[in-house]
Amino acid sequence: MTQSFVLRWGIISTGRIASCFVTDALVDPKTLVIFSYPSLRPSDIVECSRDVTDVAHKITAVGSRSVESAQKFITEFAKGDQSIKAYGSYAGVFADPNVDAVYIGTPHTFHYENALDAIKAKKHVLCEKPVTLNAAELRSLLAAAKEHGVFFMEALWTRFQPLTLEVKKLAESGVLGAPMALQADLSSDFGLDKIPKTHRILDPALGGGALLDLGPYPLIWAILALYEHPSNQGAAPSNITGTMLKTPLTGVDRSTSFTVTFAERGVAAQANLSCNLNVNTYQTGVVIRYEKGTIAIQEPIYCPKSFTVQYLQGNKVTKEETRRFEYVGSGWHFQADEVARCVRDGKSESSLWGHDKSLLEMKIFDEVRRQGGYKFPPGLEKVV
């Protein structure tokens, strides 16, 4: 039996997102659980995964503001593994020879600096979304990654989940015809009047606001369904429009809506996307309409567990089925598996979420912020 490739991870930050990533990364990748749903309709299909045998993960180092904080994180989320090194700085993780790749889970205003330090230390990088504050910062990081010969990827975990892969397979099979329109929303009521203005979602100095924090998730579905569609042939959007409603508390965007239009090549479709900080999302988070059918994806759109497809003849629904997905863990491990495979195979980027898609994301966000009049505080952007 072929031995699994084991990727050794260093963790940058000990916040909530980092704990989610580590918890999932340490789930035995060979785990396969079969779930029973006796109450499902015959049209419901249950997909079970993960059953991964070619790669595995080991946490070897954790960096935080203090050794005590790093050790507490290891105790709580890494099963108290005594072999994991606790560092009171990120520099210690970057210098550790037992670290192959780093996961960066710091606030996005620190992504550029943290990622650049990791790259210069010749560590492969998985960096949380949004990968940077702007497209210029990302271009700089990609140039550095190329110079130092390391893998680099934005941690847009949704793209690697089984449901997302199945939606893409169905959408590109041709059975539904060409994509025509897409609506996607991710919103959450943060109780803005009850949290401090220094909270990450409100603080301009932390790149606060709906667009950068929530916006990647509606946008990923537009990129998947429209930009990635074979008939689009990799064409950039023909038009981007956006509008922002800012909170008087700090001036960051409270509500943002943006439309991304594709009309350059084989795809002629619009994506209407939205994100809000003062209301909760609605149950059907994504609706993708095609010539001969509709795919409706249930919330939360960052880690959905089911979607419903309707097949149409004219305006008549001829068939409807719901597909449900279950797996051990919370869905963060699939991106880790992708990084491990890419590093094992000597790749510089993922074919599923490549550099072009992160650049497209940041270009769209730059344009929406420009139209919305949202400028970061002076000096916050390290590259402009």
Q: Tell me whether residue 46 is exposed, middle or buried, using C-beta atoms within 10 angstroms of its C-beta: 0 to 12, 13 to 18, 19 or more.
A: middle
Query: Can you tell me the distance from the alpha carbon of 179 to that of 227, in angstroms, rounded to the nearest whole number?
Result: 11
Architecture (CATH level 2) of domain 5-157+331-353? 3-Layer(aba) Sandwich (3.40)
- Residue 178 CA: distances (Å) to CA of 170, 174, 215, 258: 12, 7, 25, 22
Give domain 162-326's CATH superfamily: Dihydrodipicolinate Reductase; domain 2 (3.30.360.10)
Q: What is the pLDDT of residue 36?
A: 43
Average pLDDT over residues 9-22: 97
pLDDT in tens, 91-141: 999 999 999 999 999 999 999 999 999 999 999 999 999 999 999 999 999
Cis peptide before 107 (omega within 30 of 0): no
Give the range among 4-18, 178-192, 323-337, 339-353 with minimum mean pLDDT. 323-337
Tokens coding 302:
């960052």
Which alpha helices (H) appear in 232-354, and where do they start and end? 333-344
Per-residue pLDDT tens digits for 330-347: 999 999 999 999 999 999
Q: What is the mean pLDDT of the chain?
A: 94
Side-chain half-sphere exposure of 293, counting CA atoms within 13 A: 19
Helix or strand (DSSP H, E) at 185: strand 179-187
pTM over 0.75: yes
State how beta strands 44-48 and 316-326 pair: parallel
Question: In this prediction, what percent of the chain has a pLDDT beyond 90?
Answer: 89
For the stretch 227-262, what's the b/e string if a residue is b when 16 or more beta carbons lie within 10 angstroms of its beta carbon?
A: bbbeebeebbbeebebebebbeebbbbbbbbbbbbb
The C-alpha atoms of residue 308 and residue 323 are separated, in whole angstroms, by 6
- Quick: pLDDT tens for 212-251: 999 999 999 999 999 999 999 999 999 999 999 999 999 9
- Return phi, psi of residue 312, to 5°: -120, 145
pLDDT at 361: 98
Backbone phi, then psi, for 44, in 5-degree steps?
Answer: -85, 135
Check residue 384 and give its pLDDT.
96
- The closest alpha carbon to 211, from 268, 166, 257, belongs to 257
- Where along the chain do its domains lie? 5-157+331-353, 162-326
pLDDT value at residue 264: 85
Q: Which residues of 49-87 are buried (b: 16+ CB within 10 A; e: fewer)?
A: bbebeebbbebbbbbbeebeebbebbeebbeeeeebbbb
Which one-letter amino acid corresponds to residue 45?
I
Give the helix ranges, DSSP H, for the chain: 16-25, 67-77, 90-95, 111-120, 135-148, 162-171, 210-214, 216-222, 333-344, 355-372
- Give yes or no for residue 161 having a pLDDT over 80: yes
d(CA 254, CA 69) in angstroms, rounded, equals: 32
pLDDT at 282 (0 to 100): 84
- Give the pLDDT confidence score for residue 380 in this predicted structure: 98
Q: How far apart are the first and last CA of the chain?
A: 51
Question: Tens digits of per-residue pLDDT, 20-72?
Answer: 999 999 998 877 554 444 445 655 666 566 778 899 999 999 999 999 999 99
Q: Return the minimum-mean-pLDDT range out of 25-29, 77-81, 211-215, 306-310.
A: 25-29
CA dihedral 157, 161, 166, 167 (to 10 degrees): -40
Distance CA 210, CA 277 (A): 6
Q: How far apart are CA 209 and CA 358, in angstroms?
A: 19
Supply the pLDDT for residue 308. 96
